[in-house]
Amino acid sequence: MKKIISYLLFSIFLVLTVHAQLDRSQRPQPGPAPVVQLGEFESFITANGIQVIVVENRQVPVVSFQLTLDIDPVLESDAKGYVSFAGALMREGTTNRSKQEIDEAIDFIGASLSTASTGMFASSLTRHKHTLLDLMSDILLNPTFPEEELERRLSQTRTGLRNTPTDGGSILRNVSVTKVYGPDHPYGEVTTEETLDNINVDLLKEYYNTYFKPNVAYMVIIGDINVNEAKELMDQYFDQWERGNVPTHTYPTPTAPEGRRVAFAERLGASQSNVAVTYPLVLTPGHEDAIKVSVMNSVLGGGVFSGRLMQNLREDKGYTYGARSNISTDQLVARFVAQTEVRNSVTDSTVVEILYELDRLINEPVKEEDLQLVKNFMNGSFARSLESPRTIANFALNIKRYDLPEDYYATYLEKLSAVSVEDVQQMAHKYLKPDNAIIIAVGNKEEVVPTLERFSATGEVKIFDAFGRPWTPAELTEAPTDVSVETVLEKYYNAIGGKENFDNIKDMTQIMKTSMMGMEITLTSYQKAPHYLRIETAMGGNVMSTQLFNGEKALVTSPMGKQEFTEGPEFEMMKMQAIMNMEMNYKDYGIEKTLAGIESVDGKVAYKVEVVTLQGQKTYEYYDVDSGLKIMTESPQGSAKISDYRELVVREGEKPSFFARLFGKKSTEPVVLKFPHRIEQQAGPQTLDMEIVEILLDTNLEPSKFEI
> Residues near 167 by Cβ (< 8 Å), separated by ≥ 6?
267, 684, 685
Q: How confident is the model at residue 28 (pLDDT cuts 50, 70, 90)?
A: very low
Instruction: Give which of 78, 511, 434, 59 is closest to 277, Cα–Cα.
Output: 434
Q: Which of 275-284, 292-301, 339-348, 561-570 has the lowest mean pLDDT?
A: 561-570
* Per-residue model confidence (pLDDT) at position 171: 95
Q: Is the pLDDT of residue 249 over 80?
A: yes
The more confidently predicted of residues 602 and 48 is 48
Q: How confident is the model at residue 162 (pLDDT cuts 50, 70, 90)?
A: confident
Other beta carbons within 10 angstroms of residue 269's beta carbon come to 17
CB 69 within 8 A of CB 118: yes
CB atoms < 10 A from the CB of 474, how many? 12
Can you tell me the mean pLDDT for 414-419? 94
Task: Tell me if 467 sits within 8 A of 174, measured CB to CB.
Answer: yes
Identify the burial level of 408 via C-beta atoms within 10 angstroms of its C-beta, where 0-12 means exposed, 13-18 middle and 19 or more buried. middle
DSSP code string of 196-240: HTT--HHHHHHHHHHH--GGGEEEEEEES--HHHHHHHHHHHHTT
Mean pLDDT of 614-632: 91
Contact (CB, 8 A) for 64 and 123: yes
* Per-residue model confidence (pLDDT) at position 37: 55
Q: What is the DSSP letter of 93?
A: B
Element (H, E) at 661: helix 658-662
Side chain identity at residue 280, one-letter code: P
**What is the SS3 assignment for 108-166?**
HCCCEEEEECCEEEEEEEHHHHHHHHHHHHHHHHCECCCHHHHHHHHHHHHHHHCCHHH
- The pLDDT score that the predictor gives to residue 668 is 63
Q: Dihedral of CA 622/624/625/629: which sign?
A: negative
List, for residues 508-547, the tens digit of each pLDDT value.
999 999 987 778 999 999 999 999 999 999 998 899 999 9
Tell me the mean pLDDT in the region 133-140: 98
pLDDT at site 270: 78
Give the residue-averaged pLDDT of 62-87. Answer: 96
Distance CA 489, CA 20 (A): 82
Within 10 A of 611 (CB to CB), how many other CB atoms are there? 19
Cα separation, 53 vs 349, whole angstroms: 50
pLDDT tier at 14, thresholds 50, 70, 90: very low
> Which of 238, 227, 206, 248 minimizes the C-alpha distance to 120?
238
What's residue 2's pLDDT? 30
Q: Nearest to residue 251, comparing CAs of 183, 178, 328, 190? A: 183
Q: Is 504 exposed, middle or buried (0-12, 13-18, 19+ CB in 10 A)?
A: middle
CA distance 71 to 84: 14
pLDDT surpasses 80 at 382: yes
**Residue range 469-501, pLDDT digits in tens:** 999 887 888 999 999 999 999 999 999 999 999
| Candidate ranges 318-332, 390-404, 664-678; pick with highest mean pLDDT | 318-332
Confidence of residue 413 (pLDDT cuts 50, 70, 90): very high
Q: Which of 262, 301, 284 is nearest to 428 (CA)?
A: 301
Q: Is the pLDDT assigned to residue 688 strictly greater than 90? A: no
Backbone angle region of 630, left / alpha / beta, with phi > 0 → left and psi within -120 to 50 → alpha: beta
Task: Please give the pLDDT value at position 315.
Answer: 92
**Pairwise pLDDT comparison (130 vs 618), residue with the higher score:** 130
Residues contacting residue 654 through CB under 8 Å, at least 6 positions apart:
667, 668
Average pLDDT over residues 94-104: 96
* Per-residue pLDDT at 338: 97
Identify the pLDDT of residue 664: 56
**What's the CA gap between 158 and 180, in Å, rounded?**
25
Q: Which of 6-20, 180-194, 592-606 has the lowest mean pLDDT?
A: 6-20
Domains of the chain: 42-167+181-238 (3.30.830.10), 261-381+398-464 (3.30.830.10), 485-518+580-706 (no CATH)
pLDDT of res. 160:
85
Question: What's the residue count for the chain?
Answer: 708
Buried b (16+ CB within 10 A) or exposed e, 27-45: eeeeeebeebeeeebbbee
Sheet-wide strand order for 461-464: 323-327, 334-343, 272-281, 438-443, 261-266, 461-464
Instruction: Report pLDDT for 210.
Output: 98
Whole-number Å distance between alpha carbons of 77 and 470: 17
Q: Give the torsion through C-alpha atoms of 400, 406, 409, 410, to 10 deg.
A: 150
Q: State the pTM of this model.
A: 0.76
pLDDT > 90: percent of the chain: 70
DSSP 190: -
- 79-82 long-range Cβ contacts below 8 angstroms, 24+ apart: 79/195, 79/198, 79/199, 79/203, 80/189, 80/190, 80/191, 80/192, 80/195, 81/157, 81/191, 81/195, 81/196, 81/199, 82/198, 82/199, 82/203, 82/204, 82/207
